[in-house]
Structure 1
């Protein structure tokens, strides 16, 4: 009987561990757009990052603002040059002018020789269908490199 309890506890622990999300620091770049599109009449680029293709955050910024040290902060959607959203667990989250939402983005490094860019990002977003459903991204460093870096810095 004791052996059955130990085995059952082991399976329960394994099941609970599988439900826990990896730490945000382990988020990886999934995609960086490599095509020309505009945001507010300027060339823009979108970076998708997260744990999987299904659960991810995105930020869109203007291509001509991609410079080391650049910092954008948006509270209640007041920075038109930064768009931040998320698709998580089948739900969509956005910044809102009517809710307590915010986002920030800083380019920590932009190295053309090594083809590496590092962004520090943070956000609090709301589900537009359920006004009390928020998702938060604590300050996280995202590294864009290789082909993703080429897409990020592409000129149009």
Structure 2
């Protein structure tokens, strides 16, 4: 009887840990846009990243700024070359000039031979419908690779 309880507890623990969201450091790139669009009259690209199940962040930056070592920081939406937002738990979050919001992006690596790019991202965004509802993303590294890397570095 004791052995059955131990085995049952083991399966329950395994089942519960399988339902836990991965930590921010394990966020995956969902998609990188592969079409031409403009932001502030410049070619731009959007990277969607997050967890499986629909919760995700998006970051849009200018294509000519995709270079290793580039660092872009926006406080209260003061950097027009960086757009950060999120769709999380059915709510939408944005940067705001009227609220304590910020975002940053640093390109840590851009390796054309290996088709790998690594970004360090962070953000604090506000729900425009509920002014005291914020979502925060602590510094997280995301990796763009393979076809998504080609989409990221595509020239138009």
TM-score between both structures, scaled by the size of structure 2? 0.90
For 1:115 and 1:95, how far apart are their aligned partners in 2?
30
Q: Does 1:110 align with 2:110?
A: yes
Superposed, 1:12-91 pairs within 5 Å as 17=17, 20-52=20-52, 54-91=54-91
Q: 1:30–1:53: 8 Å Cα contact kept in structure 2?
A: no
CA-CA distance at 1:22 after TM superposition: 1.6
Out of 100-109 and 49-58, give the one that drifted further.
49-58
Alignment partner of 1:57: what SS?
strand
For 1:53 and 1:7, how far apart are their aligned partners in 2?
30
TM-score between both structures, scaled by the size of structure 1? 0.90
Going from structure 1 to structure 2, the CA distance change for 1:126 and 1:11 (only over 3 Å counts) comes to farther
Out of 55-64 and 7-16, give the one that drifted further.
7-16
Superposed structure 1 runs of 4+ greater than 3 Å apart: 1-20
Going from structure 1 to structure 2, the CA distance change for 1:53 and 1:80 (only over 3 Å counts) comes to farther
What is the Cα-based RMSD across aligned positions, in Å?
2.1
CA-CA distance at 1:52 after TM superposition: 1.7
List alignment gaps of at least 5 residues for structure 2: none
Count of residues in correspondence between the two structures = 156
Alignment partner of 1:6: what SS?
helix
Going from structure 1 to structure 2, the CA distance change for 1:114 and 1:4 (only over 3 Å counts) comes to closer
